[in-house]
Copies of this chain bind each other. A is one copy, B any other.
Amino acid sequence: MKHDFENFRHLRQQGNEKVLETDSLTIKRIFSLDKQAYKEHTLPKGTKELLGLVASLVLRCNDCIDYHLEQAVEQGFSKAQIDEAMGIALLVGGTIVVPHLRHAAHSLEYLFSNNS
């Protein structure tokens, strides 16, 4: 049986393709900008992924959290480092963020067991 994270990956990919079947230049350009914005420039890519993760946590978007968790793990951050970043999000965003920490813990279990 597929882990929820694999379903997320599939649905995200499929959904993005459907969104991009659009004539809206605004939508297309923001998607294109989103691909560029996390690349290393004056800040390392890793730091930028943690920024994306914390933004996603305080704004409480599970899909966005999952995406940045996967990138953060790929960038080599440890579970302890990711948890430390998530602690900042919990402090700033409050206990309303807790259900998203539960979601993240479930995703991290998958990501660390499959990327080791």
Contacts and interface: CB of A to CB of B under 8 A. Distances in A.
Interface of A: 11-12, 15-16, 18-19, 21-27, 29-31, 33-34, 36-38, 41-43, 47-48, 50-52, 54-56, 58-61, 63-64, 78-81, 83-99, 101-103, 105-106, 109
Nearest to A87: B26
Given A19-B101, A52-B88, A63-B99, 16 more contacts: A15-B103, A23-B42, A26-B88, A27-B83, A27-B90, A30-B90, A30-B91, A47-B50, A51-B89, A55-B55, A58-B96, A59-B59, A59-B92, A60-B61, A64-B99, A94-B96
B27 A30 contact: no
Q: How many copies make up the complex?
A: 6
Contact of A91 (B33, B60, B92): B33
A41 B95 contact: no
Contacts of A22: 79-80, 83
